[in-house]
Amino acid sequence: MNRILTVGLALVVCASLTTPVMAQDAPELEDPNTGRGMMERTLLVANTSNMPVAAREASIYTAVTVGEYFRDQGMRVALMADSTSRWAEALREVSGRLGELPGEGGYPAYLSSRQADFYERAAHVRTLGGELASLSIIGAVSPPSADFSEPVTNHTKRYVRCFWALDAVRAQARFYPAIHPLQSYSEDIEVLSQFWSQHGNPQWTEQRRRFLGLLEEQARLERMARIVGKDALPPRQQQVLLCAELINEAFLRQSAFSPLDRFCSPERQIAMMQTLVQFIDLCEAALAQQVDMAEVAALPLLRRLRRMGEDIGDQRLDDFDALRREMETAFLQLARAGAADAG
């Protein structure tokens, strides 16, 4: 339930096991916090797939060692390994050449312990100099044919605390980032809730739960709508579908093409989240007053809500308040019109 966020990183170490072009992207990125080149605090370890296979196996260790070196100097380091599947592929290839007995999926039996060795090197430490420093590891796993039950994905999930599942259906509709909110999880919600409190949103945990609840119900209703048809659903369920769709389109979807929306500060995330929570509240109130959900869905305001990420930048957070006031007025008018009809 987090829009992707980078906080106060001193440095990014990248082990890029991918095709060269992906590696080329990094030098041109701009750091949203400072406006300077991302490459100024980045180190790339590149091993393209036509380079020797043993070097591919080693590159991940090279990167994590460099990461630890910077960590020991008191920096907060994020290491992005793209992708550990290709690293495992190299492990399999070398193991095959050594004539070792293959385990599950042809990978060597020690695959999981090697992965554990790697992920366990992530840590939050106090250095000898007394500073707080950390090394965080983000591993990209690219399972063959998006099959999350294969060994590399499975073992990875055993050792990590947070999992972002990219969803093929979302990706095909060019929904970015294609993180599936229901398949993904984080075990650090309680810690993060403190973070959000400090940034001015003490209700974050409940709001997150509410959003997830709506998305969960949407998934269930979509299955049901397949059988009975969407029009046959009662107003309460239509309201759930409308709100869930709005959470997806307005909050979870981010436009990487838009200079305003490719990065989202915590403050803006909070404003967006609260705007949506208010919409859901108003929607439920309207439902109680028996306003037709089709009328709510036809509000011209919805288009602006869906595009608020792209249209309202970090500099103009006040616009969210304006949007919320307009929302209230619009719902008030709906309710009045409904009452007039009834009268």
Partner 1 sequence: MRADVYALDAAVRLEGPLLFLKRTIRCGLNEAVEIEDDAGRIRLGRIAALDHDTVTVEVLESTAGLALSDTRVRFLGAPLEFAVGPDMLGRVFDGVGRVIDGGPPVSAARTLRIDGQAINPAARDVPREFIETGVSTIDLMNSLVRGQKLPIFSGSGLPHDQLAIQIAQHARLLKAEQGEFAIVFVAIGVPYDTAERFRLAMESSGALEHTVLFLNLASDSSTQRLLSPRYALTAAEYLAFVEGKHVLVLMTDMTNYCEALREVSASHGEVPSRKGFPGYMYSDLATLYERAGRIKDVSGSVTQVPILTMPSDDITHPIPDLTGYITEGQIVLDRELDRVDVYPPVKVLPSLSRLMKDSTGEGYTHVDHPALANQLYAAYARAVHMRVLASVVGREGLSEIDRLFLDFGARFEQELVQQPAARTLDESMEVGWRLLRMLPNAELHRLSDRQIADHIDTTGDA
Q: Is 133 in the site for partner 1 (CB under 8 A)?
A: no
CB burial of residue 338 (10 Å; 0-12, 13-18, 19+): middle
Among 134, 142, 154, 274, binds partner 1 (CB under 8 A): 142
Q: Is 174 in the site for partner 1 (CB under 8 A)?
A: yes
Strand-pairing partners, residue 126, are 132
Among 8, 35, 130, 169, binds partner 1 (CB under 8 A): 169
Q: Is 225 in the site for partner 1 (CB under 8 A)?
A: yes
Strand-pairing partners, residue 44, are 14
Q: Rounded to the nearest 5°, which phi and psi values hold at 279? A: -60, -45
Which pair of tokens denotes residue 281? 């509240």
Q: Is 62 in the site for partner 1 (CB under 8 A)?
A: no
Q: Is 223 in the site for partner 1 (CB under 8 A)?
A: no
From the CB of 301, what's the least distance to partner 1, in Å? 10
What value, to the nearest 5°, has the Cα angle with vertex 68 and ends 67 and 72?
120
From the CB of 203, what's the least distance to partner 1, in Å? 27
For 7-42, the DSSP string reads -S-SEEEEEE-S-HHHHHHHHH-B-TTTSSBGGGGE
Q: Is 116 in the site for partner 1 (CB under 8 A)?
A: no
Inter-residue contact 214 to 280 (CB < 8 Å): yes
- Given the complex with partner 1, which of 22 and 162 has the nearer CB atom? 22
Subset of 177-216 contacting partner 1 (CB under 8 A): none
Among 227, 315, 342, 343, binds partner 1 (CB under 8 A): 227
Subset of 15-54 contacting partner 1 (CB under 8 A): 19-25, 28, 46, 48-51, 53
Among 4, 191, 298, 332, binds partner 1 (CB under 8 A): 298
- Given the complex with partner 1, which of 230 and 316 has the nearer CB atom? 230
Q: Which residues touch 166 (CB under 8 Å, ≥6 apart)?
A: 177, 178, 179, 180
From the CB of 159, what's the least distance to partner 1, in Å? 23
Which pair of tokens denotes residue 208? 């997150």
Q: Which residues touch 46 (CB under 8 Å, ≥6 apart)?
A: 16, 20, 23, 59
Subset of 74-113 contacting partner 1 (CB under 8 A): 85-86, 89-90, 92-93, 96-97, 99, 102, 105-106
Subset of 233-292 contacting partner 1 (CB under 8 A): 249, 255-257
Among 5, 219, 232, 337, binds partner 1 (CB under 8 A): 232
Residue type, 219: A
Q: Which residues touch 34 (CB under 8 Å, ≥6 apart)?
A: none
Q: Which residues touch 115 (CB under 8 Å, ≥6 apart)?
A: 84, 88, 152, 155, 156, 159
Long-range Cβ contact pairs of 163-166 (< 8 A, separation 24 or more): none
Q: Is 300 in the site for partner 1 (CB under 8 A)?
A: yes
From the CB of 262, what's the least distance to partner 1, in Å? 11
From the CB of 266, what's the least distance to partner 1, in Å? 24
- Given the complex with partner 1, which of 242 and 291 has the nearer CB atom? 242
Alpha-carbon distance 101 to 104, whole Å? 10
Inter-residue contact 233 to 225 (CB < 8 Å): yes
From the CB of 30, what's the least distance to partner 1, in Å? 14
From the CB of 285, what's the least distance to partner 1, in Å? 23
How many residues in the shown chain lie near partner 1 by CB under 8 A? 56
Binding site for partner 1 (CB under 8 A): 19-25, 28, 46, 48-51, 53, 85-86, 89-90, 92-93, 96-97, 99, 102, 105-106, 142, 144-145, 147, 168-169, 172-175, 225-232, 249, 255-257, 298, 300, 302-303, 306-307, 310-311
